[in-house]
Chains A and B, each alone.
Chain A
C-alpha cells in the first residue's frame, strides 16, 4: 500500500508541476528575471502549494500517526548554519543557470526534452558526491 500511495502522490505532483508551468525552464527563468521579462506566475504556484499543504499537514498530524506507518518522519534539524546556506546558495546558482530544480527535471525525463538527459545525471552525481563526502568525514 505504501507503493500505491507513493504512486498517487507522484502522479499529483507531476501533474501539478506541468499544469503550473514549472516544467518549462524558460518560464522559471522569467520568474527569476525581475529586472527583465518578469513572469510572476511561479509565486502563485508556491502560494497555492503552501496554502493546501499548510492546512493539509495539520489535518494529517491531528490523526496522531500516518495511515500506513507508525509515526511521522519530520526533519529534526533547526540550525541555520553555513552548511544550509552554502548548499542553498549553490542550488540557487544551478537553478538560475538552467531553470531546472529537481522535480521538474525528473518529471520530464521521458518526454523527449534532451536538456534534462544532461542535467539529471549530473544532478544525481552531485547529490551522491556530497552524500559520499559527508559519510566519509563523519
Chain B
C-alpha cells in the first residue's frame, strides 16, 4: 500500500515553497536578500521551484560591504544571469563615503550594514524581505517567527511579534513597516547541506576544501586575501581549509578540512561538534547577545 509520507527534506521544501508563494501573493514589493552564502543560494533554488515555469517574480538585494570574497561576486552574477533576475546593490562603502555610517574601529562592517540595508528597504519600498536565517543557528533565532514584523525603523521587538498559528501567516503592514521572511526557519545546517547535495545546487567554491594560504589569528584560521594580510609575527601557511559560512572576507575564518566534495561536506557537517557561527565568525564573538542586539537594530 502507498504510504503517502514525505521525507523530511521534501517536507521542509514544501513548507518553504508555501512561504514564498504566500508572500508573493500577499505583499506588494517582496525582495530576496542574497549574500552568496549557501542559505541564500538554497533560497534562490526554492524560489525558482515555487514559481516554475515562470521566473522568480521579485528582485534580489545584495548589501555589498565592500569586503566580499572576490569569488562570491562572480558567483552572485552567475546566479542572476541564469535565473534572469534583477539585482539591487546597496553599497556600504558608498554609505561611508556619503557619511551615512562610520567605519567601526574593530574593522567589522557587520553592524554598519544595517542602516544601509534599511535605506535600501525604504528607497525601493520593499515590504517583505526574504532572508536565509535558520532557527538552529543561534539562540535568539530560535524564537524568531517565519514572518518577522519590523517597525518603520526596521527594528525587531521580541515582545511584539505576531503569533503564528498553523500556516496562517499575517503579512499585513502599514506604510513604512515591513516583514522579514525566513523560509528556511525550520532547516538545520545539515538539512541545507543534504539538500544541496541531493539537488546538486551550485554553491560557492569557498565551501569546498582546497589548499589555501592562511594565517592563525585568535585561535582561528583566516585566509590571506585583499582584506587579510599577515600582521607582525604572523606567518603565512598553506593548509587544506574550507569555509563553513561566508561573511566578510576580513572576519570570516576557515576551518581545516578534507571535504572537497558535497558528499564529504555532508559527512563532515554530520559529525562536526561545533556550531558554524562559533567556529568561524569573528563578529559573533564580541558578546553573548551580539546577534540579539543586532537584530533589534534591524539586522537579519
B is a partner of A: no
Chain A residues within CB distance 8 Å of chain B: none
Chain B residues within CB distance 8 Å of chain A: none
